Homo-oligomer: A and B are copies of this chain.
Amino acid sequence: MAQGKGLAVVLAEDHYEDLELQYPRLRLQEAGFEVQVAGPEKGATYTSKHGYPVQTDVAFGDVDPKFVKVLVVPGGYAPDRMRRDPACLKLVSGAVDAGAVLGAICHGGWVPISARVLKGKRLTSVAAIRDDLVNAGAEWVDEPCVTDGKLVTAQVPKDLPVFMQAILALA
């Protein structure tokens, strides 16, 4: 495998969509990134919608945003929990400010809404949260995967291959 691409962070919380967390996690490893799974607590286990476990390497607040090259927000109902955590939002906004590639898929868009980094951005999501994204000042388009600057968004698990290709093309 390639090595030394830098730090990639994948956010975790309970009720994450299984593949939307695990495919990016493994794919970024495969591409040579040091991948850290970040959640509310370090060393804790969070489980997917179907019960698949993932263990966190770090707490949200442990990550220095300026070293993050890629940050991925999976979907499922995990983002509804993540967005309540100020340390999570600070990590997301800090990474964006520092020039990280930000990927959000499905319901993942709720987190960058609350991190206030989406105004004027062209993006997509699962249809259910379209209104939330529009109300946050984004331009929502009905495409499987959308890139705007360093923001990559996608709709549902079947879009994971194009989502990761788009992220890796920028990272």
Pick the interface stretch among A20-28, A93-101, A118-126: A20-28
- Name the one of B1, B19, B160, B161 contacting A165, with C-beta atoms under 8 angstroms: B1
**Interface-central residue, A48, A51, A161, A162, by most chain B CB under 10 Å:** A161
Residues of B within 8 A of A146 (CB): none
Which A residues form the contact surface with B (CB < 8 A)?
1, 18-19, 22-23, 26-27, 29-30, 48, 50-52, 160-162, 164-165
Interface of A is mostly: helix
> From residue A107, how far is it (CB to closest CB) to chain B in Å?
17
Residues of B within 8 A of A18 (CB): 18, 22, 50, 52
Nearest B residue to A159, CB-CB: B26
- Name the one of B50, B161, B162, B164 contacting A52, with C-beta atoms under 8 angstroms: B50
